[in-house]
Amino acid sequence: MTVRTKYRTLIFMNRTDIPELLLERLTRYAAIDTQSNMEKADSLVFPSTDTQIQFAREIAEELRSIGVPDVMVDENSYVIARIPASPGKEDTPSFGLCAHLDTASDAPGSGVKPRIHRNWSGESIVLQNGFILDPAVDKALGECIGHTIITSDGTTLLGADDKAGLSGIMTLAQYLIAHPEILHGPVEILFSPDEETGHGMDKVPLSLLRSKAFYTVDGGHAGEIEAECFNAWKAEVSFSGIAAHLGSAKGRMVNALAMAAAFVNALPARESPETTEGYEGYFCPLDIRGSTEKTDLLVFIRDFDREQMTRRLERLDIIARSIEASFPGGMVTIKKTCQYLNMKQKLDEHPLILERLCTAVVRAGLEPVQKPIRGGTDGSRLTEMGIPTPNIFTGGHNYHSRTEWASLEHMTQMFDTLVELTHIWGE
C-alpha cells in the first residue's frame, strides 16, 4: 500500500517497512524545533512556544493524510485523534496513547541535525564540541552493537524525548489504517504541549477524552515499563536583605545573595540528583537570580514516599529559620507547590491496565522490566486526574543532553509492543 503525504511518499507493504518508517519520522520530527520555555510556562503562557503550536497543526495534518478520520487540535494545541474500532469491535473499551510535542530546554534544541549510525560496530561515537558516546561508560549503548543508532551532531540534543514516542504512535496509526484486516477496538491518541515544563496537563480537555486508561509512550530502554514516579514539589524561596553602600555597609547591609548561597549550602550534599539513584529522593537548586536586596531561588524536591516528602518540606522551613538567625534583619519566605504525585497508588487500584501492558511486552518478545521513573510524565498528572496511565519505553537514552541517542531496533520493539497492546485491548 502507498500512502501519499505532503512530507514524502510512504511505501507501506508489511512489517519489514516499520524500521525505516520509524527512522524517517524520528529524524524528520527531531529536526523541527519544538523546545518549550520554562519561564514562559511558569508565567502561564500556554503553549510556551509558538513552534509547538505549528508542530501540533503539522502532526494533525499528517494524521489526516494517512487516513485517520477523527482528528482535532484544540485552542491549547492538544492534538486528539481517534482510530475507529474494526466492525464488530465497536463495544470494546477504548484505550489511549499519549506523547508530548515539546523537547527539553536543558541543552540547545534548535537546528537539530540527526546522525544515523547504521550497523554500529561498538566503537565510541565522536560528536562535535568534544562530546563522546562511549559504550564502556554507557552500558545501555554497549548492549546495542549491530543496531542503527541515532544521535545529534553534538551541538544540540536529539529530541528522542519524546519524538521517538511520537514516531511510534504515528506509525501505529498508519499501520492500523493501512491494514483493516487487523481487528481492534477504538484507539485514542493524545499529543500534548509543554510536558517538559511540568505544565503538560494544565489545560488538557478531559471532557473530550473517551478512554478510561491511557499509556504514555515516553520511556527509555527496551522492555522498561513504569508505573510509579516521584512525588514532586517545587519551592520558590525568596530572600529579603537590606541594601547599603559597600563603603559603609558594616552593621547595615544584609546580603540577600549571601543568604541564598548559605541556603543552598545547607541542603544535604548527598541528597542531590547527581548523588542519588533508584528510590532515593533529593533536593535540587535549579535557578537563582537577584541582588543584595532581593534574591529568588528555585528548588525542586523529589521523593517516592509521601511521608518522607513531608519531612523534606519541613526541612526547608528549618533551614530558612536558620538562615534568618545567621543574617539578622534578613527574611526568608517559601512558597511550596505540588507538581505531581506518585502514580503507583492509583495504578495499584487498576491492576488490569498494567497487566495488559506487561502481556504486550512479552508478546513483543521482551522481558518486562518495571522500574520507577526518576521524574514524571504527563501520565503522572493524568493518573491524578482519574485516568490511570503507566509509561512505555521508546528506545531513547540520555535524555535532555547532547549525548542523547536512540536505537532503531528498540524503537521497532516499542512499535511491536504498541501493536500487541492494541490486540490485547481488542480482545
Q: Cα–Cα distance between 79 and 200 in angstroms, integer?
A: 12
- Per-residue pLDDT tens over the stretch 35-86: 999 899 989 999 999 999 999 999 999 999 999 999 999 999 999 999 999 9
Domain 2-229+342-426 has CATH 3.10.310.10: no
β-pairing, 125-126 with 2-4? unpaired
Say if residue 7's pLDDT is above 60: no
> In this predicted model, what pLDDT tens digit does every residue of 22-36 receive, in sequence order?
999 999 999 999 999
DSSP state of 265: H
Model confidence band, residue 365 (pLDDT cutoffs 50, 70, 90): very high
Q: Are 161 and 400 in contact (CB under 8 A)?
A: yes
Q: How much is the pTM?
A: 0.90
pLDDT of the residue at 384: 92
Please, which residues have CB within 8 angstroms of residue 242's CB and are 6 or more apart in sequence?
252, 253, 254, 293, 329, 330
- Does position 139 have pLDDT exceeding 80, yes or no? yes
Q: Contact 329/244 with Cβ under 8 angstroms?
A: no
Environment class of residue 363 by beta-carbon count within 10 Å: exposed (0-12), middle (13-18) or buried (19+)? middle
Judge if 2-229+342-426 and 231-340 fold alike in CATH terms.
Answer: no
Could you tell me the pLDDT band of residue 421, with boundaries at 50, 70 and 90? Answer: very high
Of the candidates 62, 161, 195, 420, the residue annotated as catalytic is 195
d(CA 289, CA 291) in angstroms, rounded, equals 7
Determine what percent of the chain is predicted with pLDDT higher than 90. Answer: 93
What's phi and psi for 333, nearest 5 deg?
A: -125, 145
**Would you say 156 and 113 are in contact if contact means Cβ atoms under 8 Å apart?**
yes
Q: Is 305 left (phi over 0), alpha (psi -120 to 50) or beta?
A: beta
**Which is nearest to 229 in space by CA: 78, 361, 347?**
347
The alpha carbon of residue 151 and the mean position of all alpha carbons in its chain are separated, in whole angstroms, by 18
**If you search the block for the grid coordinates 488538557, which residue do you land on?**
204
- Domain 231-340 adopts which CATH fold? Alpha-Beta Plaits (3.30.70)
- The residue extents of the domains of the chain are 2-229+342-426, 231-340
Average pLDDT, the chain: 95
Residues of 162-180 as b/e, b for ≥16 C-beta within 10 angstroms?
A: bbbbbbbbbbbbbbbbbee
- Please say whether the beta carbons of 166 and 192 come within 8 A: no
Catalytic residue, candidates 33, 62, 102, 226: 102
- Which of 271, 381, 388 is closest to 319 using CA atoms? 271
Identify whether 102 is a catalytic site residue.
Answer: yes
Q: Can you say whether the dihedral through the CA atoms of 326, 327, 328, 334 is positive or negative?
A: negative
Expressed in angstroms, the distance from the first to the final Cα of the chain is 26
